Amino acid sequence: MVVMYNIAGRQIASHWLSIATLSLTFGGAALAMGGKKVEKTTTPPINAKNSDEEKFIKDFLADIDSSEKKAQKA
């Protein structure tokens, strides 16, 4: 009751061809859409009154980020 196709000298049933086609289609789509996404972090602008205050804020934020990374590794 199954249609057989002659492929590379072998007889392949039609249901195996449909299974292979669907697997490759959905598997390829899943692989193309997968992977690690790069998060774009945007920070609000720093409204400092002078350059010393801006430098202090940037250094403080960098210190907080580095301490969080160290805490995650431990």
Within a 13 Å sphere around the CA of 45, how many CA atoms are in the beta-carbon half? 3
The pTM is what? 0.47
Asked if residue 27 belongs to a domain, the reply is yes
Asked if residue 9 belongs to a domain, the reply is yes
Give CA–CA dist 72/48, Å, rounded.
Answer: 30
Q: 12: domain range? A: 4-32
Asked if residue 72 belongs to a domain, the reply is no
Asked if residue 54 belongs to a domain, the reply is no
CA dihedral (18, 22, 27, 28) positive or negative: positive
The domain total for the chain is 1
Asked if residue 24 belongs to a domain, the reply is yes
Asked if residue 8 belongs to a domain, the reply is yes
Distances 14 to 1, 5, 26, 28 between C-alpha atoms, Å: 10, 7, 19, 21
Give CA–CA dist 36/45, Å, rounded.
Answer: 28
Asked if residue 15 belongs to a domain, the reply is yes
Q: Give residue-wise pLDDT tens across range 7-64.
A: 999 999 999 999 999 999 999 999 999 877 777 778 788 888 899 999 999 999 999 9
Asked if residue 23 belongs to a domain, the reply is yes
